[in-house]
């Protein structure tokens, strides 16, 4: 009984996001922050852009802030393009239609990102999709599970 109660409390804390436009927006912000943070250390981007060009701690601080601003600006078009498709996909009630729609959304996001943002390295789009799937499961697990348990 204690294990069941603990598990239920844990899942209540984890599944905090209901399907709303605001939560879809928060999901995208968190996803892209994590994604661009991962990209910063793949291929030494952060090292090449910030660490190699900074001679003092003040310069490193300024270059780090510039890098963060650069990433935030890059996130804006991605969020604007995908917020409504994500929201309406999450609102789909039937499980099979949801799966088809979310797969199409991930394919569209892969194409959009790889051809407009990272045309030289297609594997970065795969990293984006992996992070997307993991975070979607974490944030909207309860809502997604209900799509497959309804009759």
**Are 28 and 140 spatial neighbours (Cβ–Cβ below 8 Å)?**
no
Q: Examine residue 3 and state whether it is found in any structural domain, yes or no.
A: no
| Burial grade of 32 (CB within 10 A; 0-12, 13-18, 19 or more) | buried
Q: Examine residue 8 and state whether it is found in any structural domain, yes or no.
A: no
Across the chain, mean pLDDT equals 85
**Residue 92 CB partners (closer than 8 Å, separation 6+):** 98, 101, 147
Q: Examine residue 100 and state whether it is found in any structural domain, yes or no.
A: yes
Q: For the segment 24-80, what is each residue's pLDDT rounded down to a tens digit?
A: 999 999 999 999 888 888 877 777 777 777 788 888 888 888 888 988 998 999 999
Whole-model pTM?
A: 0.81
Q: Examine residue 137 and state whether it is found in any structural domain, yes or no.
A: yes
CA–CA distance, 128 with 59 (Å, rounded to integer): 30
Domain interval for residue 70: 28-149
Q: Examine residue 102 and state whether it is found in any structural domain, yes or no.
A: yes
What pLDDT is attached to residue 8?
55
Q: Examine residue 6 and state whether it is found in any structural domain, yes or no.
A: no
Q: Examine residue 99 and state whether it is found in any structural domain, yes or no.
A: yes
Q: Examine residue 115 and state whether it is found in any structural domain, yes or no.
A: yes
| Burial grade of 81 (CB within 10 A; 0-12, 13-18, 19 or more) | middle
Q: In terms of residues, how long is the chain?
A: 151
What the block records as the tokens of 42 is 């793949």
Report how many domains make up the chain. Answer: 1
**Residue 79 CB partners (closer than 8 Å, separation 6+):** 25, 28, 29, 32
């Amino acid at each position: 009984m204690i294990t069941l109660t603990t598990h239920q409390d844990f899942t209540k804390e984890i599944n905090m996001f209901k399907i709303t436009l605001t939560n879809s927006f928060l999901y995208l912000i968190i996803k892209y922050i994590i994604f661009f943070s991962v990209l910063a250390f793949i291929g030494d981007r952060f090292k090449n852009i910030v660490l190699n060009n900074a001679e003092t701690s003040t310069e490193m601080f300024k270059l780090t802030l510039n890098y963060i601003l650069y990433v935030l600006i890059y996130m804006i078009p991605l969020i604007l393009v995908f917020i409504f498709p994500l929201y309406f996909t999450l609102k789909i009630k039937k499980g099979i239609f949801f799966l088809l729609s979310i797969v199409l959304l991930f394919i569209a996001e892969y194409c959009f990102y790889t051809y407009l943002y990272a045309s030289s390295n297609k594997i970065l789009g795969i990293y984006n999709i992996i992070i997307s799937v993991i975070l979607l499961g974490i944030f909207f697990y309860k809502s997604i599970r209900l799509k497959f348990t309804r009759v």
